[in-house]
Structure 1
């Protein structure tokens, strides 16, 4: 059997297997709500979403003044990009993450402290 013919059979079988895997994994994640986070950004955001949130005094004032709302915070926790270069992940008590995202056509950064049992939303700053 020629090499090209064997390669063709291999690619056909591989593509059929990938299609089946795609449908099985999609069905499993839709039914159970399981998400697969393998990248560091996704893993950090998933860990932050799993703990209860508290606000620092500065953020609490911004929420009271309605300059910051819960939808913006939820956007950062779901769609934000963690800037690991500006984050302090070496701290043993509370790791500090800087999460960047576009809010109302402005580049903003949210500083979050990830402690053992809670997540403290510490600061919101404009990067533009």
Structure 2
């Protein structure tokens, strides 16, 4: 058998095996209430969700204007995208993270948070 065919069979089997393992691990993790969270975006959002949340005055002002709610912030922390170009920078004895998400009205928002060792500070919420 030629090398090309052996390589193709090997890669096809490797692909099928990887799909099976990922499916199997996700199924087992969901039974135990564990998240399958190994990618950088997922890990950062999970870390931000797991800590207690403090709200800065700028964020309180945005929340009081009623165009964004705390539920929108929570959904953005679950399904949003971390902008790593602007994030993971030292800032006020913590690290700043910029998360792009959406409101319930499907408006794009940008959330700026400061991640400390024991808490997270919601600094500001802006319309995009």
Deviation at 1:50, TM superposition (A): 0.7
Deviation at 1:90, TM superposition (A): 3.1
> Which has the larger Rg?
1
What is the distance in 1 between the residues matched to 2:9 and 2:86? 49
Long gaps (5+) in structure 2: none
**More off after superposition, 71-80 vs 14-23:** 14-23
**Off by >6 Å, runs of 4+ in structure 1:** 4-9
Change in Cα spacing, 1:59 to 1:24, as seen in structure 2 (3 Å) is same
Long gaps (5+) in structure 1: none
Deviation at 1:24, TM superposition (A): 2.5
User: In the alignment, what sits opposite 1:24?
Assistant: 24
> CA RMSD of the aligned region, Å?
2.7
Relative to the length of structure 2, the TM-score reads 0.76
Relative to the length of structure 1, the TM-score reads 0.76
Aligned length: 126
